[in-house]
Chains A and B, each alone.
Chain A
Amino acid sequence: MDEIVVENLSKTFAGGVTAVDGLSFSVARGEVFGLLGPNGAGKSTTVRILATLTQPTGGRASVASHDVAADPARVRSRLGYIAQASGVDRWATGHENLTLQAQLQRVSPALVGARVRALLDRVSLSEAAPRLVNTYSGGMKRRLDIAMGLVHEPSVLFLDEPTTGLDPETRRALWDDLARLRAERGLTVLLTTHYLEEADQLCDRIAIVDRGRVVATGTPSDLKTGIGGDIVTLELAAAQPYAAATLRALDGVTEVNGEGAKLTLRVADGAHMLPVAISALAQSGISVRTASASRPSLDDVYLHHTGHRFDSTDVAHRAAR
C-alpha cells in the first residue's frame, strides 16, 4: 500500500502563477522519496499541499490513505512536517518548543515529559534545552526542528529542503541522523532538495521535478543507468592495438574510444564491467595499469530529461511561497 499518493496535482495561485502543474508520484511505506529540482520547480508547494497547509486547485493527494483535501485533520495527526523555514519559536527555550509541540500533537500528557527528554537527548540538545532558541546555531535549530517533527511518532515525515543554509559538516551530520532515524523507525520520508548529492545519498527513489511536473522517476542509479550507462577508463601498461577490438567484442560494451594506452568505454554497468574487461585483456596477454568506473551524475540525468543544466535553471517560475 502506498503511503503517499499524488495524482495529477495542480496549484495555481490567485495571482495566476502556476507552481504545480499536473504532478504525479507515489511513495511506498518505509521509502525515502526525494523531489529533486531547482528553486521554483514546485517542490515546496507540493509538500505544503500534502501537509494540508494549502489547497490544490486540481488533482488529488492522499497521505496514509487519507485525502488531504477531504480529511485534513486525520492527515495532520499522521504527519511530521519540517519546513524549509525553521518553525521554532526563537523566544522560547528548546524544551518549551518541544513540549508545546508534543501537547499540540496530542501526545498523552503522561508521556510528554519522557518523550521530550528522550528526543532532546536523541538530537544532542539536552544541554541546550533550557536556553532560548535565539542563542542556537543553525544546525542546532535544525535538529530541534527535526525533533519537533518526530515528537508524536508520525508515520510520514515531510522534510522541505532540510539542509539548505547549513554548512557542509552539519549537513553531513544531518544526513547520518536521517539515515539512522529511518533505520530505527521505518518512517516514510518525503524530502525535497535542490542538492543533487543529497538526493543521491539519502533517497531510495527520486522524482525529478521541472516547472511543476515530474519529468522522471526512479532510483538514483536507475535514472543514471537509464541515460546510457557508465564510463570505464583503462590505462594499459603499454599501447596495444588489439586491446580495443578485444573490448569491443565484450557483451555490454557499447563504445570504445581512445588512443595509445588510454581507453574509454561506455558500458551499461561500470561496476560489473570493470573486472570483466580487465580479465578479458589479461587473457589476451594485455596488462592494465589503472582502471576506474564512473557513473553519469544526476546532473547528466537532469540535463537529459529537461534539456537544461540543473544549475542554470531559470528561477522566474518561482511561486509566491
Chain B
Amino acid sequence: MPDLKLTNITKRFDKSVAVDDLSLSIEHGEFVCLLGPSGCGKTTTLRMIAGFETANSGTIELDGMDITRLPPQKRDIGLVFQSYALFPHKTAAENVGFGLKMRKLPRADIDSQVKKALDLVRLGHVAERYPRQMSGGQQQRVALARALAIRPRLLLMDEPLSNLDAKLRDDMREEIRRIQKEVGITAIFVTHDQAEALALADRIAVMSEGRLMQIADPTSIYESPANATVDQFIGQVNALQGSIANVEGHIAHVAIAGGRYISGLDRQIPAGTPVLAMVKHERVFLSRLQPAAGENIFPCQVEGRTYLGASIVYRCNLGDQAMTAAVPNHPAFEQFQPGEAAFLHWASADCRIFRQ
C-alpha cells in the first residue's frame, strides 16, 4: 500500500491553475523529488500535502487515511524550509524540542529525544547555541533534526539546500540521504535543481505548468524522458525541428532544415508529422576525421568554445542548424578552436523524437 497518495489534486489561485489534476503515489521509505522550474506547482503541491493550502478538488491520503482537510498541526508531517525557519529566540535544543513540547511530553523525554535528534545530525555540541551563532549548514541540520524529532509520518523538504554554497550543498545532500535511510522515513524533496534531484531521488516527479510530466527513477528520467518538456528540462539538450520522413524498423528518419535527414528512435509517429528531435549535448561527438560509418554524421564549423573545466562545450554550425556538443576535458578527446571544420556525429539510439 502506498504511504502517500494524491488523487486528481487541483488547486486554483484566483483564475490561475497552480496544480492541475495531479495524481501521485509514494511508497513507504521512498525518497521522491518534485522537480520543475519555478511556478510549476511543486511548492503548492508540497504546501497542500503539509496542509497550508487546501486543494479545490481531489484527495490526499496518508497511510490510508484521508487528510485532505486535516489542519496542518494535526498531520504529523515534518517540514524543512528553504529559509531554515529556525525560531531565532530559541536555542538549537529548544527548536528541536518545540514539537515535543507541543505534544506535552514530559521534560525528561523531551531532553532525551532532543539529544537523540541532534546526535543524528551530528550537532550534539551546538544544543545551547542560538540560530544566529550557527553556520547555514548547521542551521539546516538543526531544522532537519527539528522536523524529525516529532517522528513524523512523512518528511517534506522545500528547496532546503538553495541557501547553501556549492560545496556545502553537496555535503548536505549526502547527509540528508544518509539520515533519511537511517530513519527509514518517506521523504518528498522539492527542488528546481536537476543535479540535486538526480543525485538524491529514488524517483523524480517532473512537473511543468501544474501538471505531472513524468515520474520515474533518475536514469529513466534522463535517458528515456516521456516528452519534450522533460527532455528539455533535464540535462542540456539540442532540439532540432523537422518532420517525420519515413520509418525503418525501430529507426525514424526526420527531415530537418537544409534538406538534411537525421535518424532517431521511432515512436510510431506517422510520416509528415512535425516533430522535435532531441540529443543531449554530451551525446554529440565531435571529431576532425569523418567517422567511417553510421548515421547522423554531419560536417560542421566550430563557432564557439566554452571551457567548463570538466568538459568543453562547442557551439557548432551545420549550415542552417546550430548544435552544441559537450566533450569531456580528457587527453583521449580531441580539442577544437573556433573556426575549425569538424564532423558532428551521434547515435540514433541517443536521439529521441517527440511530436511538436
Q: Do A and B come from one complex?
A: no
By a beta-carbon cutoff of 8 Å, the part of chain A in contact with chain B is none
